[in-house]
Structure 1
Amino acid sequence: MKKLLAKVQKSSWLANSSLDTRYALLEACLIGLFSALAAVLLKQGIGWLGGWRVQTANLMGGKIVLPLTGLVCGTLAGVIIQVLSPSAAGGGIPQVKAALAKYPVVLDLRTALVKTLATILVVGAGFTVGRRGPTVHIGAALGAQVSRWIPNSPTNRRQMIAAGAAAGLAAGFNTPIAGVLFVVEELMRDISGLTLETAIAASFTGAVVSRILSATDLNVPLAVIDSARKGSFAVNDIPFYIVLGILAGVLGGIFNRGIIHGMKFSRTFPFPIPIQIGLAGLISGTIVAWLPPFFEDNAGLKELLITGQFSWQTTAVIFVAQFCLTILAYSAGAPGGLFAPALVLGSALGYLVGLAEVALIGSESPYTFALAGMGAFFTSVVRVPVTAIIIVFEMTADFNLVLPLMISCAIAYIVAESVSKGSLYEHLLEISGIELTEDKPNHDFMTELTANDVMQPKVETLPSNLPLPELVKAISRSHHRGFPVLEDGKLVGIIAQSDLPQDSQPATSMLLKDIMTPHPISVSPETSLGDVLYLLNRYQLSRLPVTEGYKLLGIITRSDIIKAEAKQLNYDHHPKAHLEPSYVVYQSRSPATGKGRILLPLANPEHIDDLLTIAAAIAKYHQYEIQCLRVICVPNYVYPAQANVETDAERKLMQQLENWGKASGISLHTQIRVATDISEAILETITREQIDLLLMGWKGKSSGIESIFGNVVDTLIHQASCDLLLIKLGNAPHAFPQQLDLRHKWLIPTTGGDRIHKLLAIVPALANLYSIPPKIQLCQVSSADLGGHYTTDFLQAVELVKNKLDCPIFPLLISSDSVSKAVIELTQDKKYGLVILGASNEGLLQNVMNGNIPEAIAHHANSTVIIFRNSAK
């Protein structure tokens, strides 16, 4: 099983950050299938209930049956919505837009089922609303549900919702291209590759399946289409298409205003939604009962397009009735859409304009105007001209309609924006308290944060050739349960405690590489946190390595994501002052061949040589690269990217450092940044460049009353995610290397324990600066009441240092109640050349505030003092 998992991991997105879109496309096809089945169910249910209503009205009398059916079915639909899923009310497209904007709108299987049942009751009962808008809502809800069933990246769930919406429209109208365009033009306003690919896949699948199951009957008679094709577009027709566009724009804008005011008015009613929808059904049924019989089955689109069926008077009555009843039904919150009513109104309006043209200039056919009117009125209501053109074109497959549609839709859009500006759906969301504006984006920290932002840069790793007994000991000593496996500094595998053999007597000759999981899934530093969570969920992983090529940069666990979320929530409630990001005005790159990276900020020119010498020693010892940084500070009111600064001197210095790096055989990078805050620029560089060690000088005294080491250093001690080496150079110039004299002695105060292990990360590298090894004094300071004995931890530390260093090691015990005072007096008396202090990430500043070791010693000692703070991560 383990080998199979390794093979799957190797074959699926092995490299780093990119998630294969093939799985998203398969998921989109599945969403398209479900959306088409829902469209079939919706159409058949409406057809059955509507047929029953018409037959019953013919037998028992429409003036009783139609109002009663509207009242009962509308009330029942309202009860179902209120009890089971309030989010299923209304047309549905505003809810989809809000969900795509990352507002907490419920979209799930329950919403889809309730929407389907309620729409069947409402549309089948004779409400003058359509079923295509609800299919968009149902498709989006199914898309959201499928994305929960199938593990997916949170950053891709929006695409799955949009794909479901596209499939719903395509299945309802048999217009797959229009389904895709509606998503791009109205819902997402996004043309990224994944959005288009998934929308196309879902829309195509939905249209094909619904066509196979005969779910898409657009009620456009072939005779009408043939009649429209017989005519040809002429210059004389242009003024009438312009008039049609103007009328559609004005009336469509009024229609939208009517719906908006109707929604606001309905919210002032003290009645619950079941009563509101029931009353709307009662009123609608009563009005329809007094209209001509053909209006009973709500198939106005078909009759309006049959040659010679209606006079212009009847057509006008139909337009007015459809106009008012649609506003009534939609304002009451009935689960129905505006697509079909808009097409009916547009066809009626276009038919009237066509009849006017026939009367004035003797045109042969008014039906092209009826079809163009559909697109124009649809545009004025929904404000999607391209989608409107494509819907009508896909309905008829007639190229002769393209120019009339373009003229009418363009004019209608311009005029409608003048009458009622903005998207109807956005206005409806504003009534509900949701504002979809670019000025108030709804940020998603999952998409904003990257792996680099949350990873732990300090990772416990194991070599691939580690024997099994040593592996068992290493795992038992650590609180971690999984470790990256390295070979020659490259990530080659990952080992978990569960991978250890269960045999009571495992083979002692077995090595770690024999049981590790090779080729582990890893991510790059730029991978979004949403994609990281997706990989963790899909493969049931507990950790993910973060790599750059084969170089291990850090690791991410589920707890890191939880901490990031908690930090983000805390940040939202406690905003901090905004600082503009720093701006790189110069940089140079050397080959990234090191196992880690040292950041060396350059401030005081007099100390550059000494600090560079120390950095070079550590870089050679650990096979690290050096990143030299110079920060040019500008006032807060100046935007760093637009600051006009002189960099000639800094560039010259950087070029000298580049030449030094080449001559020394060290991979050295340089960078000049302009920033409003030096510490923020350094922290930004640490994050961007994956720094392992920050090495910086300190003048030995603070720059303010409240600061301890200095404002910049204090900030970096608190916030730097890497190891920190703080150096206060001694009085002698060029402290490294010094001449062999009495100063050629080092003092390392320690209590032993973990701190000595941390110090040994730098002490051997510094010892290599000397041709003759320095003498190292390990000092333990204890109070007199302890009896003047070495502690066990201290003695173990002495043995550890002796084993690690080829230097003379001398233990020293001092009795004193003040550690800092004892070390300062010892330093002044013995004249040590170097004092090395270890401190924890949490305790460095706290120790200083309590009057303890680091700052006091560094401030008063004449020797060079190095304070090493190991990262807490």
Structure 2
Amino acid sequence: MKSFIKVRYILLGKFLKDSISEDRTYFALTLIVGFISAMVVIALHHGVLYLREVFKTSGSFTWESFLYGGVAIFVSGWLTTRKLPWTAGSGIPNVRIALAVFHGKISLKDTVGKFFTSLLSLGSGVSLGLEGPAVATCSGLGSFLGNYFSLSKKRVQALVAVGSASGVAAAFHTPISAVVFTLEEVVGDLNAKILGSIIISSVIAVVTSQMLTNTTEIFQEVHYRLVDHRELIFYLVIGLTASVIGPIWMNTVLKFREFNQKYMNNHKLSFIMIAFCCVGLLSQIHPGVIGSGSGTLEGTLLSLILDPKILITLFLLKFISTSICYSSGMSGGLFMPTLFMGATMGSFIGVTCSYFFPEITTMSGAYALVGMGAFFATVIRAPFTSILMVFELTRDYNIMLPLMIANITAYVISAKIENKSIYEKISEQDGIHLPSHEDNEILESLNVEDAMERNVISLNSSLTLIEAYKGVRKESISGYPILKNGRLIGMIAKSDMSAAIGRKEFQKKLEHLCEKKVIKIYPDQSLMVAFHRLKRFQISRLPVVSRLDDKRVVGVITAQDIVKKFGYELNETSKEMEDLLEDTEIT
């Protein structure tokens, strides 16, 4: 362990001598994350296929499938429910929380745990996909490398986004949609300044994945031709259908999760085992319910499944099995199952329309593609990603018009029913409320003094680096105010202290190491101002100073403090509204 720490400090001293060195290190890590992410996704994909063969969970379940697969899901569920709660679900909501609250910090234990719990659960044949876990694992990889080299919080967050994009790109071989998904859903800002590094990592991940697997696409290309302009009406129907069914499926997942949390709170592992058994029983009806269903999905895209009874059966089986599996909290994602449901829904509509209007309809595979994009846009609330992903999968411009008609229709109309993605709804159900544009009013009404930490841990400017580091190395705080005669003269980050130790500046005074240009805030300013200031300057904490003396520190505020206070206030407001409604009803 000591040699590991020694190597780390040597690397810090070598690569983080100044801001230019940090930029070069960040660029190198961007390339490394893209390359390793491709290998992680390939390992996860082939590992799942291998385990399904070993556990005999590739087809309709037999007694051996229930036995071997049951052991695998039990081990995965035990780890998730008892040891590694971060590994539950797809992992994408947790990545978003890590970015918004913890400045991109994801522990290596959770990252490794996510890989192996997903490997076991998906290998058991449950009705979930590997794309979400791939995003979470690759994001954790970026976070680990950024923190290992003590990069700034801004750079660590950027590497988390880089890992996320690399995971999607390697899984689907679609670099453009991977970039847009990361900015649209994970980062939440299409104008993010990290666009360049995300593009580079996505391209590297795709190229690496294609070279190692000797494949260029996950599905065979589907070529589309518009037979008659009246056919566009049928694509409009797909959008309308997706706008209704998408929210119904989301609410089904939430209802199952509510049941799990309310009645199975102390028996979460039992609910996971029940979900596994349900998948095994449903596989007796059709094996397409097993796993992500990518093989069956390709069949719908190639117009190989034309029986409407089979299509509606596949949709309903996937609808039920994915709802139960995801609500149980087992490790697995929603990407491919969501695309599967959209494809079978679209193909069913296409086959039905071709039966009644054969002269103006094309092959059902085109309807499957459009349905895939429309359902994805409704559930994930990422319309640009869905359009670009389908385009990259087909590489056919002719599909763009019907795809855009269906997607825009599905996205706009579904927003009237449910305007949040499944990931946002799940986070809210767990009591986690991240700031959004609609929440600005609450943030503006709350002041910094309502949420700030008043017990401030500060460091004296006369301390040497080694003295200060020995005192704070076991603290979880990432930065400290530097005081001279009780007055604020600067701030120092723990990562900067680590870098200075790597440069062997042990006896240097904190007064000469700290950042003199301090970004401050006053107690009476709103939490919105604090949140914007933290985001704008990419810092982890703000010293709160008195209006009467801006050198006197009265508190410290972090993004985590804001989110905690914000969530509390939101819950209090909801309770007040409920009480008001009850009083009104009584009156």
Residue 279 (structure 1) aligned with residue 235 (structure 2):
no
Match of 1:114 in 2: 113
Of 36, 45, 62, 1:43 maps to: 45
CA distance in 1, matches of 2:428, 2:330: 19
Displacement after TM superposition at 1:43 (Å): 0.5
CA distance in 1, matches of 2:136, 2:497: 27
TM-score, scaled relative to structure 2 = 0.73
CA distance in 2, matches of 1:147, 1:204: 20
Aligned residue for 1:52, secondary structure, equals helix
CA distance in 2, matches of 1:579, 1:249: 38
CA distance in 2, matches of 1:37, 1:435: 34
Task: Report matched runs for 1:216-615 at 5 Å.
Answer: 219-222=218-221, 225=222, 228-229=223-224, 231-232=225-226, 234-268=228-262, 269-288=264-283, 290-293=284-287, 295=289, 298=293, 299-362=295-358, 363-438=361-436, 439=439, 536=500, 539=503, 541=505, 555-557=511-513, 576-578=523-525
Displacement after TM superposition at 1:168 (Å): 0.9
C-alpha contact (below 8 Å) 2:33/2:163 kept by paired residues: yes
Deviations 1:158-177 (A, max 9, x none): 11111111111111111111
Displacement after TM superposition at 1:533 (Å): 5.8
Displacement after TM superposition at 1:151 (Å): 2.2
Give identity over the alignment, percent: 25
Task: Report matched runs for 1:766-845 at 5 Å.
Answer: none
Cα pair distance change 1:12/1:306, threshold 3 Å: same
CA distance in 2, matches of 1:160, 1:76: 31
Aligned residue for 2:111, secondary structure, equals helix
Aligned residue for 1:232, secondary structure, equals coil
Match of 1:145 in 2: 144
CA distance in 2, matches of 1:43, 1:282: 23
C-alpha contact (below 8 Å) 2:492/2:514 kept by paired residues: no
Corresponding letter in the other structure for 2:513? T
Deviations 1:576-598 (A, max 9, x none): 45599xxxxxxxxxxxxxxxxxx
Match of 1:486 in 2: none
CA distance in 1, matches of 2:101, 2:142: 15
Displacement after TM superposition at 1:480 (Å): 7.8
Corresponding letter in the other structure for 2:350? G
Cα pair distance change 1:559/1:330, threshold 3 Å: same
C-alpha contact (below 8 Å) 1:344/1:374 kept by paired residues: yes
Cα pair distance change 1:239/1:116, threshold 3 Å: same
TM-score, scaled relative to structure 1 = 0.50
CA distance in 2, matches of 1:13, 1:112: 28
Corresponding letter in the other structure for 1:248? A
Match of 2:481 in 1: none
Match of 2:154 in 1: 155
Aligned residue for 1:190, secondary structure, equals coil
Displacement after TM superposition at 1:197 (Å): 2.2
C-alpha contact (below 8 Å) 1:153/1:533 kept by paired residues: no
Cα pair distance change 1:539/1:407, threshold 3 Å: farther
C-alpha contact (below 8 Å) 1:543/1:558 kept by paired residues: no
Displacement after TM superposition at 1:338 (Å): 0.7
Task: Report matched runs for 1:656-675 at 5 Å.
Answer: none
Match of 1:548 in 2: none
CA distance in 2, matches of 1:543, 1:215: 55
Cα pair distance change 1:419/1:217, threshold 3 Å: farther
Residue 129 (structure 1) aligned with residue 131 (structure 2):
no
Q: Relative contact order: is structure 1 or structure 2 higher (C-alpha 8 Å, sep ≥ 6)?
A: 2
Aligned residue for 1:101, secondary structure, equals helix
Cα pair distance change 1:531/1:10, threshold 3 Å: closer
Aligned residue for 1:208, secondary structure, equals helix
Q: Which runs of 5+ in 1 are unaligned?
A: 449-453, 460-478, 483-524, 546-553, 581-678, 688-717, 720-873
Deviations 1:194-221 (A, max 9, x none): 4212222222222221111118786523
Match of 2:183 in 1: 184
C-alpha contact (below 8 Å) 1:91/1:134 kept by paired residues: yes
Cα pair distance change 1:309/1:238, threshold 3 Å: closer
C-alpha contact (below 8 Å) 1:263/1:331 kept by paired residues: yes
Larger % of helix: which?
2
CA distance in 1, matches of 2:332, 2:275: 13
CA distance in 1, matches of 2:41, 2:117: 14
Aligned residue for 2:408, secondary structure, equals helix
CA distance in 2, matches of 1:151, 1:531: 5
Displacement after TM superposition at 1:103 (Å): 4.2
CA distance in 1, matches of 2:332, 2:464: 55
C-alpha contact (below 8 Å) 1:277/1:334 kept by paired residues: yes
Cα pair distance change 1:216/1:173, threshold 3 Å: farther
CA distance in 2, matches of 1:217, 1:274: 39
CA distance in 2, matches of 1:534, 1:377: 48
Displacement after TM superposition at 1:70 (Å): 4.4
Which range moved further: 112-121 or 68-77? Answer: 68-77
CA distance in 1, matches of 2:434, 2:174: 28
Cα pair distance change 1:55/1:172, threshold 3 Å: closer
Match of 2:166 in 1: 167
Deviations 1:315-352 (A, max 9, x none): 00000000110000000011111110011111111111
CA distance in 2, matches of 1:384, 1:394: 16
C-alpha contact (below 8 Å) 1:25/1:198 kept by paired residues: yes
Corresponding letter in the other structure for 2:313? V
Displacement after TM superposition at 1:411 (Å): 0.9
CA distance in 1, matches of 2:146, 2:260: 35
CA distance in 2, matches of 1:126, 1:55: 5
C-alpha contact (below 8 Å) 1:543/1:555 kept by paired residues: no
Larger % of strand: which?
1
Which range moved further: 168-177 or 19-28? Answer: 19-28
